Amino acid sequence: MARPSRLSLPPPKAAALVDEPNAVDQSVFRGRKYYTMALNTPNLTSAGGSWIFRFAERGGTSRAGEVTAPIAVREVDPAYPADLIRDNIQGVVILYAIIRADGTVAEVKVLEGFDDRLDENARKALSGWHFVPGTRDGSPVDLEAVVRIPFRTKWSFYSH
């Protein structure tokens, strides 16, 4: 009996960023073309918000062709301690990371934070993610990424 063929879809391409780059993005990408994607996966311990990934091929090459977005296959939720939720401590942690051509995440650093515990929890969580890597011309490539991780209490949604 013949096996059915497996459906193979190309990885999605991320849309080129159309808004103005901010100082953090400019300092990381230094004029290179970069892309953005939002992963609508609110933190399990956060009331809402997408993780925003901005990424560019590592090494600053100017080769033709588009870079495809990495696809998250393992996500790790950062801890949001109950006392910080109760005290309505919220904000966005901005991280730098390298998403390697093998899908692992390396060199995760806090670029901007607002609470030492949440900054470290976000750093540890992103370090545990795994991706189907981004590609150029069908070959996996290392990507530099700036990742924005929201920490929002449910109280903030009811107070507006």
pLDDT in tens, 46-66: 566 788 899 999 986 556 678
For residue 78, tell me if it sits in a domain.
yes
Q: Are strands 130-132 and 105-112 parallel, antiparallel or unpaired?
A: unpaired
Q: Would you place residue 121 in the very low, low, confident or very high pLDDT band (cuts 50, 70, 90)?
A: very high
d(CA 74, CA 59): 25
Which tens digits make up the pLDDT trace of 71-93?
999 999 899 999 999 999 999 99
Instruction: State yes or no: pLDDT of 146 exceeds 90.
Output: yes
For residue 9, tell me if it sits in a domain.
no
Domain limits for position 50: 15-158
For residue 6, tell me if it sits in a domain.
no
For residue 47, tell me if it sits in a domain.
yes
CATH number, domain containing residue 126: 3.30.2420.10
> Structure tokens of 131?
């991706």
Question: What's the domain count of the chain?
Answer: 1
Phi and psi torsions of 82, nearest 5°: -55, -35
pTM of the model: 0.80
For residue 72, tell me if it sits in a domain.
yes
For residue 92, tell me if it sits in a domain.
yes
Percentage of residues in the chain having pLDDT higher than 90: 52
**The residue to which tokens 């009811």 are assigned:** 158
